[in-house]
């Protein structure tokens, strides 16, 4: 049986000047759908293309152009919903969210307010071995991204790049179930991991492919439990929304800062104003961007250019049948099947490619030994050169070959590390390298005995001392290892030295 049980972490408590406060956080994650074409046009989504080269007439909002839904993007949203164990809505619809922005040529964004494609789901946020928080997903909707205004190319002019205009985004909205800065970062990491497993978003945060709006409020201990019982937001404090965060570190810093700012206001007898804020990492503070708009400010209405989106259960079932094994299940299986610790299993399942590599090495071998070698030697070595597993010069078959030589007793752990380095830098078949370079461990006790005899004969004074003080036997073991080029079986050397010294 896979064991997915866990205990919930304590919420983060911040001591104010007057009393304690708890944090309440809800996230809206914008994840760019991994798709070659945009949500309503055939234009390319390629990152880093020449400005304004990936813009169709639809994206540029030329008069009379009509949006056409991209079925692949819809499938990606459904796949994501299934991966987050969420309700898939067979009927959803697109709405216009009206606002003016120079990088939004339509004058509105096509989004899904009233009928999102994905409803309620949940995700387990891991905070350490056996410790996790369940965070509820409220909804996922599909929407268009906006373009990009460029203000730093000319002192007097601003430019606009519409390449990103109309690219499909999934907005993943959580319930306010996150209770601390570390949890918020871990939640983003978990969503990112699941999306990468699913292949629905590449999760490149630096390129802005995954970014989060972070809603923060504070309340007194006990109030959150009342909210949980009643689902009445009246028990929670007023929230502020910190926009467009694309770094785990800054998310944590911004939450810390924002919580302290709100606590100072409240303890001073003031009231938090609901608003949108920006985090300035250089100053380490959030500042007001605009007061919070409500849905009615956007004059949402159903987009008359698009029919309601109806999908069939059979199509959803097909997508469900093609889902890969997801991180929680994989981690639990690794613990069960290979006898790994939770920690090692979570390191190995961080990325699907890492997990696949490990499984190929561990197949038919000692799982713990395989885990040690993959994590400590291989990952360590790859990290040194900032390579990921897909760039590994050592294949699973080669690493497996090294492990087989260790298990058979052909090479010691120390020689295995030398061998790994040779395979890493020059390639080749491990067994053949060991043969050619004479790296085989000497287990022949006769040969070891001869080496021990020689060291004893050459060092009568040391022998005398060692007979008084048995701890000095280690010196002889070291000499024998040196004399055999590290190839003698250390266990056999220890035994023979002890015996000969009497």
Q: Which residues bind ligand ADP (CB under 6 A)?
A: 24-28, 173-176, 215-217, 233, 236-237, 239, 241
Residue 176: contacted member of ligand ADP, Mg ion, none (CB under 5 to 8 Å, by partner type): ligand ADP
Angstrom distance (rounded) from CA 339 to CA 334: 7
Query: Which pair of tokens denotes residue 351?
Result: 């990325």
What's the closest the beta carbon of residue 162 comes to Mg ion, in angstroms? Answer: 24
Angstrom distance (rounded) from CA 369 to CA 360: 13
What's the closest the beta carbon of residue 197 comes to ligand ADP, in angstroms? Answer: 23
Q: Is the dihedral of CA 473, 475, 476, 481 positive or negative?
A: positive
Q: To the nearest 10°, report the CA torsion of 221, 226, 228, 229.
A: 150
Beta-bridged to residue 148, according to DSSP, are 161
Residue 170: contacted member of ligand ADP, Mg ion, none (CB under 5 to 8 Å, by partner type): none
Q: Which residues contact 441 (CB under 8 A, 6 or more apart)?
A: 409, 410, 411, 412, 415, 487, 488, 489
Residue 335: contacted member of Mg ion, ligand ADP, none (CB under 5 to 8 Å, by partner type): none
Pairing between β-strand 275-280 and β-strand 285-291 as defined by DSSP bridges: antiparallel
Give SS3 for 481. helix
Question: How large is the greatest C-alpha to C-alpha distance in the chain, in angstroms?
Answer: 101
List, edge to edge, every strand of the sheet that includes 301-302: 108-111, 95-98, 301-302
- R_g of the chain, CA atoms, integer Å: 30
What's the closest the beta carbon of residue 206 comes to ligand ADP, in angstroms? Answer: 24
Residue 368: contacted member of Mg ion, ligand ADP, none (CB under 5 to 8 Å, by partner type): none
What's the closest the beta carbon of residue 186 comes to ligand ADP, in angstroms? Answer: 16
**Which is closer to ligand ADP, CB of 26 or CB of 400?**
26
Q: Which residues contact 354 (CB under 8 A, 6 or more apart)?
A: 347, 348, 374, 379, 389
**Which is closer to ligand ADP, CB of 14 or CB of 236?**
236
**Which is closer to ligand ADP, CB of 27 or CB of 480?**
27
What's the closest the beta carbon of residue 231 comes to Mg ion, in angstroms? Answer: 19
Q: How many residues appear in the chain?
A: 502
Q: Terminus-to-terminus CA distance in the chain, angstroms? A: 53
Which residue lies nearest Mg ion, judged by its C-beta?
A: 28
What's the closest the beta carbon of residue 410 comes to ligand ADP, in angstroms? Answer: 57
Residue 174: contacted member of ligand ADP, Mg ion, none (CB under 5 to 8 Å, by partner type): ligand ADP
**Which is closer to Mg ion, CB of 244 or CB of 494?**
244
**Which is closer to ligand ADP, CB of 262 or CB of 392?**
262
Residue 239: contacted member of ligand ADP, Mg ion, none (CB under 5 to 8 Å, by partner type): ligand ADP
Query: Which pair of tokens denotes residue 319?
Result: 């997508």
Angstrom distance (rounded) from CA 198 to CA 22: 34
What's the closest the beta carbon of residue 35 comes to ligand ADP, in angstroms? Answer: 24
Smallest CA-to-CA distance from 291 within 240, 219, 216, 233 is with 240
Residue 103 neighbours by CB distance under 10 Å: 17
Angstrom distance (rounded) from CA 134 to CA 397: 38
- Per-residue interface string for the shown chain with Mg ion, residues 17-56, x marking contact by CB under 5 A: -----------x----------------------------
**Which is closer to ligand ADP, CB of 81 or CB of 237?**
237
**Which is closer to ligand ADP, CB of 193 or CB of 215?**
215
Q: To the nearest 10°, report the CA torsion of 404, 405, 410, 416.
A: -140
Smallest CA-to-CA distance from 274 within 295, 292, 297, 256 is with 292
Residue 238 and residue 273 in contact, taking contact as beta carbons nearer than 8 Å: yes
Residue 173: contacted member of Mg ion, ligand ADP, none (CB under 5 to 8 Å, by partner type): ligand ADP
Which residue lies nearest ligand ADP, judged by its C-beta?
A: 26
Residue 331: contacted member of ligand ADP, Mg ion, none (CB under 5 to 8 Å, by partner type): none
What's the closest the beta carbon of residue 94 comes to ligand ADP, in angstroms? Answer: 16
Angstrom distance (rounded) from CA 161 to CA 103: 7
**Which is closer to Mg ion, CB of 28 or CB of 404?**
28
What's the closest the beta carbon of residue 8 comes to ligand ADP, in angstroms? Answer: 18
**Which is closer to ligand ADP, CB of 3 or CB of 293?**
293
Residue 69 and residue 37 in contact, taking contact as beta carbons nearer than 8 Å: no
**Which is closer to ligand ADP, CB of 259 or CB of 394?**
259
Smallest CA-to-CA distance from 490 within 458, 451, 462 is with 451
Residue 175: contacted member of Mg ion, ligand ADP, none (CB under 5 to 8 Å, by partner type): ligand ADP
Residue 114: contacted member of Mg ion, ligand ADP, none (CB under 5 to 8 Å, by partner type): none
Contacts (CB under 5 A) with Mg ion, residues 240-259: none
What's the closest the beta carbon of residue 22 comes to Mg ion, in angstroms? Answer: 21
Backbone dihedral angles phi then psi of residue 485, each to the nearest 5 degrees: 65, 30
Contacts (CB under 5 A) with Mg ion, residues 355-394: none
**Which is closer to Mg ion, CB of 238 or CB of 462?**
238
What's the closest the beta carbon of residue 347 comes to ligand ADP, in angstroms? Answer: 30
Pairing between β-strand 301-302 and β-strand 285-291 as defined by DSSP bridges: unpaired
What's the closest the beta carbon of residue 48 comes to ligand ADP, in angstroms? Answer: 30
**Which is closer to Mg ion, CB of 28 or CB of 366?**
28
Q: Which residues bind Mg ion (CB under 5 A)?
A: 28
């Amino acid at each position: 049986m896979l064991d997915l049980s866990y205990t919930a972490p304590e919420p983060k408590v911040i001591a104010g000047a007057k009393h304690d406060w708890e944090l309440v956080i809800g996230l809206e994650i914008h994840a760019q759908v991994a798709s070659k074409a945009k949500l309503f046009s055939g234009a390319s989504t390629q990152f880093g293309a020449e400005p304004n080269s990936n813009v169709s007439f639809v994206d540029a909002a030329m008069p009379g152009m009509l949006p056409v839904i991209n079925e692949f993007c819809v499938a990606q949203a459904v796949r994501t919903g299934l991966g987050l164990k969420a309700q898939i809505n067979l009927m959803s619809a697109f709405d216009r969210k009206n606002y003016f922005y120079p990088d939004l040529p339509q004058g509105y964004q096509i989004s899904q307010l009233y009928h999102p494609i994905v409803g309620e789901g949940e995700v387990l946020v891991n905070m350490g071995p056996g410790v996790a928080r369940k965070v509820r997903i409220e909804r996922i909707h599909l929407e268009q991204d906006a373009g990009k205004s460029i203000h730093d190319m000319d002192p007097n002019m601003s430019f606009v790049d519409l390449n990103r205009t109309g690219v499909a985004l999934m907005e993943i909205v959580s319930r306010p179930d996150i209770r601390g800065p570390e949890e918020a970062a871990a939640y983003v990491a978990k969503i990112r991991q699941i999306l990468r497993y699913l292949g629905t978003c590449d999760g490149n945060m630096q390129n802005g492919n995954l970014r989060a709006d972070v809603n923060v409020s504070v309340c007194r201990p006990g109030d959150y439990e009342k909210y949980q019982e009643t689902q009445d937001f009246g028990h929670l404090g007023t929230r502020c929304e910190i926009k467009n965060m694309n770094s785990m570190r800054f998310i944590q810093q911004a939450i810390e800062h924002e919580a302290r700012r709100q606590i100072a206001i409240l303890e001073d007898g003031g009231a938090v104003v609901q608003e949108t804020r920006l985090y300035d990492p250089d100053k380490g503070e959030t500042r007001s961007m605009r007061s919070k708009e409500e849905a009615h400010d956007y004059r949402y209405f159903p987009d008359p250019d698009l029919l309601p989106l109806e999908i069939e259960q059979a199509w959803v079932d097909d997508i469900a049948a093609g889902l890969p094994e997801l991180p929680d299940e994989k981690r639990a299986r690794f613990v069960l099947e290979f006898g790994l610790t939770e920690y090692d299993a979570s390191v190995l399942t961080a990325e699907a490619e890492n997990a696949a590599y490990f499984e190929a090495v561990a197949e038919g071998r000692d799982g713990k030994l395989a885990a040690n070698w993959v994590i400590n030697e291989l990952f360590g070595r790859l990290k040194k050169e900032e390579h990921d597993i897909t760039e590994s010069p050592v294949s699973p078959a080669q690493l497996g070959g090294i492990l087989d030589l260790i298990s058979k007793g052909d090479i010691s752990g120390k020689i295995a590390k030398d061998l790994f380095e040779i395979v890493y830098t020059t390639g080749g078949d491990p067994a053949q390298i060991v043969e050619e370079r004479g790296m085989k461990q000497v287990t022949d006790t006769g040969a070891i005995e001869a080496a021990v005899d020689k060291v004893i004969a050459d060092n009568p004074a040391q022998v005398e001392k060692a007979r008084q003080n048995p701890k000095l036997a280690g010196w002889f073991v070291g000499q024998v290892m040196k004399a055999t080029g590290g190839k003698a079986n250390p266990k056999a050397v220890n035994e023979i030295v002890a015996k000969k010294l009497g």
